Amino acid sequence: MSPSTPLGTGESTLRADIVEVGRRMYARGYTASNDGNISVRLGADRLLMTPKSVCKGFMTPDMMCITDLDGRKLQGERDPSSEMLMHLEVYRQRADVQAVVHAHPPTATGFAVAGIPLDRAVLAEVLTTLGSIPIAEYATPSTSELPEAVRKYIKAHDGMLLANHGALTVGGDLFSAYYKMETIEHFAKISLVARLLGRENLISRDEVQRLQSLRGSYGIKAPAPICLDDVVADAACQVVQAPESSGARLVAAPSGTGPDGEIRLTYRELSQLIEDAVKSLR
Ligand SMILES: [Zn+2]
């Protein structure tokens, strides 16, 4: 950084914070090689953004680019991230968002590849913070298709999966956006283990409503309410899959048909089916 362009305290802190978040993402395996990108608002009309083609684990504060909200580079020796269009779209749609983080955390991305959204009522912490984590439709990375896919969900969600690609999180500051990425990957790992074990108890509808009311008392700012109506089509709220119950707060998830209509069986159920089929042949 040239000594003729001294950094304001805010800007130098944000540059250092981006370096730190990139280091954590790489150390935790959320990105490989040069994957992923990070940006923050720098005042009303400028963004500070990671450059393209650098490993996020080994960045230095001087590498960042400054762009305007239309993506024109204002400062920086390197070109801004190849996913800049997606970041610009988020800032355009969400005046409250101060930072955007994109990565490819392997377990969450596995759900994105399998086409399974993280929208079941399973963990109270996830329900109160992120609500549900939908999957934005597949789009060719770095093209204008990706911002279009993200636009559908970004008004109501602070985190989403990107089909066959990765995950995207946003927040009121950089660390809040980054921690949501950690929450998504952690939730994906827990969901995967529960499904491998062959049983998943879900939080009931009534309990989900109770958790939603806690958002206010904990001061959690959510962009949209949780919605328990599966029929909602416009993605204007956070659609969560939670079963009805007569008093019980945890209800065994029905195995069988998933939200996409695909039939899913536990290992135990599949073994029983095979056993029965073999018996009937005898
Ligand atoms: Zn990506």
Distance 207 CA to ligand 1 centre (A): 35
Distance 72 CA to ligand 1 centre (A): 21
Provide the percentage of residues in the chain whose pLDDT is more than 70.
89
Distance 23 CA to ligand 1 centre (A): 16
Closest residue by Cα to residue 180 from 35, 34, 50, 21: 21
Using 50, 70 and 90 to split pLDDT, how confident is the model at 186?
Answer: very high
Tell me the pTM: 0.86
Please tell me which residue, 267 or 167, carries the higher pLDDT value: 167
3-state secondary structure of 47: strand
pLDDT of residue 47: 98
Residue in this structure with the two tokens 């981006």, named with its chain if needed:
18
Using 50, 70 and 90 to split pLDDT, how confident is the model at 26?
Answer: very high
Q: Rounded distance, CA 32 to CA 106, Å?
A: 10
Residues with Cβ within 8 Å of 183's Cβ and at least 6 positions away in sequence, in order, are 125, 126, 129, 130, 159
Distance 274 CA to ligand 1 centre (A): 41
Range with the poorest average pLDDT among 57-61, 64-68, 118-122, 221-225 = 221-225
Distance 140 CA to ligand 1 centre (A): 10
pLDDT of residue 262: 56
pLDDT of residue 5: 41
Q: Degrees (nearest 5) of the Cα angle 163, 220, 94?
A: 50
pLDDT of residue 256: 52
pLDDT of residue 8: 47
pLDDT of residue 231: 58
Report the chain's mean pLDDT, rounded to a whole number: 90
Provide the percentage of residues in the chain whose pLDDT is more than 90.
76
Distance 178 CA to ligand 1 centre (A): 15
Give me the mean pLDDT over the 27-39 stretch: 98
Using 50, 70 and 90 to split pLDDT, how confident is the model at 254?
Answer: confident
If one counts every other C-beta atom within 10 angstroms of the C-beta of residue 140, the result is: 10
Distance 83 CA to ligand 1 centre (A): 7
Closest residue by Cα to residue 126 from 36, 72, 189: 189
Distance 238 CA to ligand 1 centre (A): 23
